[in-house]
Structure 1
Amino acid sequence: MTDIASTPPTPSAPLRQLADLPCPAGLPLLGNLHQLAPTQLHLTLERWAAELGTPYRFQICGTPVTVWTDPELCQTISRERPHRYRRFTPIETVLEEMGCNGLFSAEGVAWEPQRKLVMQALSIPNIKSFYPTLNAITERLYQRWQRAAASGAIVEMTQDLKRYTVDITSALAFGEDPRTLDQDGSAIQEPLALILPAVMARINAPFPYWRYLKLPGDRRVDRALKEVHQYVRQMMQRARERMRDDPAETPRHLLEAMLRLRDAPGSEISDDQVAANILTLLLAGEDTTANSIAWAQLYIATQAPLQQRLAIAARAALGSHTVCPDYAGLKQLDLFEAVCTEASRLRPVAAISSFEPLEDVCLDNVHVPAGTTMFFLSRPSMLDERHFSQPEIFDIDRWLRERDTRTGNHDMRAYLQFGAGPRVCPGRHLASVEMRLALSTLLASFEIELMTDSASIKEISAFTMVPDTMPMRLKARH
């Protein structure tokens, strides 16, 4: 196992410096900058990993960036946060500028109190008590799909699923449902969609030009941020009015909990930090879960036996209902979460994780100075026979309980889509519930057909890894 501490090299493997690592050919001064299209970043880094092995480095105007694929090392580094490692610094800088520096990007002492609040809001008991709202929003998703099936319209699934997750996250975060599923355009969803791609572009930019020169795209992003922040501030104001007019012994949602902490004597939390965490939850809740479900639908639509199996399982679990009627019934929908998990193994929404050591460390007999950017690629280890048997095959059964006694490799530690260590994703249970609900509702009532060649669907790096399109035609099942 890789040694995290700064220790002498072993005799058989002398200590290497960053300059000793393999590096793709580049240009003088620019290094590899001209080869790094932001929307294809994960694909470029994966290709270089296959060609050069890992760890390797690439150069950005003379600055080395290291790339790794060892999942055990990523697990260990995740556990060593925040005292020895932090996220890639530009993530916090860019999100701070955008007013979005919440739980995801906060470092050091600012992280712990925010973590407690968000973990409480997204705990299993809270999700269970929130289930009637989840059921009602999923019913609206079903009705939207029913109208599309009746009219023969092609559904852009990524957009419908983002409406679904925005409605759920908004209702959970501040007790108000924007009902974006009832609209073709949304005052909140459309500006939200611009933010994460802008974050991706800015954290990878060699120079923060937008601070000095606003291009048309930057002005669109600024307008989107203004709209979203106004929306969040309105929610904060209404929550304060409800707390004043109808006091409750315990907070009714995440925003009330944050506002109580904000207003407590001696609190060091500001309104800006409250707003940043609400916006972080909106962005994360909308994007990652929606795209994970969309990638799963790609495999379902292109594998008829799988689709039939899921349809039978969904109808057996739901009975006469269009949506799983109660929280207890989710236990019967393991198959649907397994589809999303297996899709995320092959199409990881979290394709790249980034860290920086806060002190000099020795990793794989490489001396890594403090502040060195470290990118971890998640897909190579999930496609490695050492971690998953027959890794190229889409096999949902590898994730189900009845396969616990299987022979062959199944290394859960190589699956890092929800992170690891103290910074593991606090919304993973909510994501599991949404996956089970959306897919079981879809497959119980509709046949789905992909309306484009599956090979033409492109993977896009937009902070998360997303499909550029997922057009489906729905047909009611009888």
Structure 2
Amino acid sequence: MATASAEPLTTRKVADLPGPRGLPLIGNAHQLTPSRAHLILEEWAKELGTPFRFQIGSRPVTVWDDTELCHMIMRDRPYGYRRYAPIEDILKEMGSNGVFSVEGAAWEPQRKLVMQALSIAHIKAFYPTLTAITERLRIRWKRAARRGSVVEMTDDLKRYTVDVTSALAFGDDPKTLEQDGDVIQEHLAVIFPMLMNRINAPVRYWRYIKLPRDRQLDRSLIEVHRYVRLTMQRARERIRDCPDAEPGNLLDAMLRVRDAPGSGITDDEVAANVLTMLLAGEDTTANSIAWALLYLTADDALQNRISQQSRAALAHANVCPTYDTLKLLDLCEAVCTETSRFRPVVPVHAFEPLHDVVHRGVHLPAGSRMFFLTRPSMLDPNNFDHPDEFDPERWMHNRASEHRTHEVRAHLQFGGGPRVCPGRHLSTVEMRLVISMLSAGFVSRLAVDASTIQEVAAFTMVPSKMPVRLTLRH
């Protein structure tokens, strides 16, 4: 694997790379429909090869599909590279510049706090609450099955992940699964699409004029920040009532650090991490499970096999009864992992070097914008045998042949390096819980033609809809 220092100095400039034809002043901005941006970049990669460049206004962006280079950059963060700068700028503007987007020296102390809340030990201790929330989801789906109504899975799964994230990280369960109508999840759902729009906007028009969608975002941000501050207030009341108790969640730990003399941490920084956790916990896992249903509902044999394995593991329980039992549900997680090869929730990783570098013979000045496509490497036959086949077994420990082509490093769903996703273990636990509960208790059928479900880039990549009809499994 070549590094910046090992590259020859006889290099090309970014301007020498091939690129789609653009327009003066705006470049290719008019061609990059925000909701289809990842698909357009993938189409250009097929046509032009990689690396190629495109323009947002006067700023060029290079596009790559080099897995090893992506890993190298991830290992060298946050001191050699940073995320695409507009991400931090826009999240800071929205009051959510937390551990996901914060850069430089501010990242490490925030990372330590978040890792405490999402550690395996903490999730084990939290497991009874996890099963209780999963049972609420089962009851909601059981009512829908008895009514014969169609379930919009993306909505219900986001309610579930909001409840889980809130209870684990903040000790505060909003119980959105037991409500209809105005819930915090509906306001969170507004933020990600607008985040995508603003990150890619060539001009920050909303600072001068507000469109209806900008006013809707402002209203949702007000409600979400009000929810966050109320959550912080309740946490402070818990700490006041039991000042000697060990912190029971992320928010308690952050507030104790913030309130310590000379901490240098503000309430605004605490609130930003609360909102970051809500957004990240609500969106990525929910959509990973929702996409898995696209494949699970279309394959009766696979659905029945997962049902049998889940029923054997759960025994007489409706939800996986113990943390240790989760190890019997590898196939449930494998379905979600295999799904993410075809439908990556994170289809593009975006970075900027902090110093001049040379990669693959291309000189990139500090601050150059680099986009890495994740799907091409996951569908490359050099990385996976029969990559066009949906085969969850390829992720099982007992797969048929240990000599099959199976390059796990090509799967970048949780990122890598020091800033690998801190919530990856919680995400896999939720996948096993939900898929096993669903498969053991219900038969699932997609309620529309699968071809009508579109990929939508809304910061993460989400399904346009996932309506499923459930019947009780006897």
Q: TM-score range by the shorter chain?
A: over 0.9
Q: In structure 2, which of residues 436, 440, 443 is the aligned counterpart of residue 444 of structure 1? A: 440
Query: 3-state SS of the aligned residue for 2:253?
Result: helix
Q: State the distance in 2 between where 1:363 and 1:204 align.
A: 24
The corresponding residue for 1:175 is 171
The corresponding residue for 1:116 is 112
Q: State the distance in 2 between where 1:175 and 1:436 align.
A: 22
Q: State the distance in 2 between where 1:98 and 1:322 align.
A: 40
1:100 alignment partner AA: S
Can you give the 5+ residue segments of structure 2 that lack an aligned partner in the other structure? none
Q: State the distance in 1 between where 2:125 and 2:358 align.
A: 47
Q: In structure 1, which of residues 96, 100, 105 is the aligned counterpart of residue 96 of structure 2? A: 100
| CA deviation vs aligned residue, 1:260-313 (integer Å, no higher than 9, x gap) | 000111101100000000110000000000000000011000111111111111
Q: State the distance in 2 between where 1:389 and 1:287 align.
A: 30
The corresponding residue for 1:388 is 384
Query: 3-state SS of the aligned residue for 2:398?
Result: helix
Q: In structure 2, which of residues 207, 226, 230 is the aligned counterpart of residue 230 of structure 1? A: 226
The question of whether the paired residues in 1 share the 8 Å contact of 2:352 and 2:370 is answered with yes
Matched, 1:209 2:205: yes
2:33 alignment partner AA: A
The TM-score normalised by the length of structure 2 is 0.99
Matched, 1:125 2:102: no
The corresponding residue for 1:413 is 409
Q: In structure 1, which of residues 222, 247, 250 is the aligned counterpart of residue 246 of structure 2? A: 250
Q: State the distance in 2 between where 1:440 and 1:272 align.
A: 39
Q: In structure 2, which of residues 334, 339, 342 is the aligned counterpart of residue 338 of structure 1? A: 334
My pick for the range that moved more, 286-295 or 299-308, is 299-308
Q: State the distance in 1 between where 2:337 and 2:180 align.
A: 29
The question of whether the paired residues in 2 share the 8 Å contact of 1:166 and 1:282 is answered with yes
RMSD: 1.0
Q: State the distance in 2 between where 1:325 and 1:156 align.
A: 26
Q: In structure 1, which of residues 160, 164, 168 is the aligned counterpart of residue 160 of structure 2? A: 164
Q: State the distance in 2 between where 1:445 and 1:373 align.
A: 47
The corresponding residue for 2:353 is 357
Q: State the distance in 2 between where 1:113 and 1:176 align.
A: 23
Report how far residue 63 of structure 1 moved.
1.9
Q: Trace 1:72-87 onto structure 2 (pairs within 5 A).
A: 72-87=68-83
Q: In structure 1, which of residues 229, 236, 241 is the aligned counterpart of residue 237 of structure 2? A: 241
1:159 alignment partner AA: D
Q: State the distance in 2 between where 1:216 and 1:445 align.
A: 43
The question of whether the paired residues in 2 share the 8 Å contact of 1:6 and 1:361 is answered with no
Change in 2 beyond 3 A, CA 1:404/1:85: farther
Q: State the distance in 1 between where 2:336 and 2:199 align.
A: 28
The corresponding residue for 2:420 is 424
Report how far residue 409 of structure 1 moved.
1.1
The corresponding residue for 2:8 is 8
How many residues align structurally?
Answer: 474
Q: State the distance in 2 between where 1:188 and 1:303 align.
A: 34
Report how far residue 8 of structure 1 moved.
2.5
The corresponding residue for 2:457 is 461
The corresponding residue for 2:147 is 151
2:3 alignment partner AA: D
The question of whether the paired residues in 1 share the 8 Å contact of 2:7 and 2:359 is answered with no
The question of whether the paired residues in 1 share the 8 Å contact of 2:7 and 2:360 is answered with no
1:71 alignment partner AA: T
Report how far residue 27 of structure 1 moved.
2.2
The question of whether the paired residues in 2 share the 8 Å contact of 1:66 and 1:375 is answered with yes
1:220 alignment partner AA: Q
Query: 3-state SS of the aligned residue for 1:403?
Result: coil
| CA deviation vs aligned residue, 1:422-451 (integer Å, no higher than 9, x gap) | 000000000000000001000001000001
Change in 2 beyond 3 A, CA 1:91/1:456: same
Q: State the distance in 2 between where 1:28 and 1:243 align.
A: 58
The corresponding residue for 1:399 is 395
Q: State the distance in 2 between where 1:383 and 1:112 align.
A: 34
Can you give the 5+ residue segments of structure 1 that lack an aligned partner in the other structure? none
| CA deviation vs aligned residue, 1:46-98 (integer Å, no higher than 9, x gap) | 00001111000011223211000011100000011111110011100000000
Change in 2 beyond 3 A, CA 1:404/1:172: farther
Report how far residue 6 of structure 1 moved.
6.8
Report how far residue 20 of structure 1 moved.
1.2
1:345 alignment partner AA: R
Q: State the distance in 1 between where 2:202 and 2:2 align.
A: 31
Q: State the distance in 1 between where 2:417 and 2:150 align.
A: 41
Q: State the distance in 1 between where 2:419 and 2:411 align.
A: 15
The question of whether the paired residues in 2 share the 8 Å contact of 1:195 and 1:221 is answered with yes
Report how far residue 31 of structure 1 moved.
1.9
Q: State the distance in 1 between where 2:150 and 2:116 align.
A: 39
Report how far residue 232 of structure 1 moved.
0.7
Query: 3-state SS of the aligned residue for 1:472?
Result: strand
Q: State the distance in 1 between where 2:7 and 2:50 align.
A: 20
The corresponding residue for 2:43 is 47
Report how far residue 238 of structure 1 moved.
1.1
1:84 alignment partner AA: G
Matched, 1:266 2:262: yes
The question of whether the paired residues in 2 share the 8 Å contact of 1:180 and 1:186 is answered with no
My pick for the range that moved more, 427-436 or 22-31, is 22-31
2:8 alignment partner AA: P
Change in 2 beyond 3 A, CA 1:126/1:404: farther
2:2 alignment partner AA: T
2:197 alignment partner AA: A
The TM-score normalised by the length of structure 1 is 0.98
| CA deviation vs aligned residue, 1:127-184 (integer Å, no higher than 9, x gap) | 0000010000000000000000000000000000000000000101211111100112
% identical aligned pairs: 63
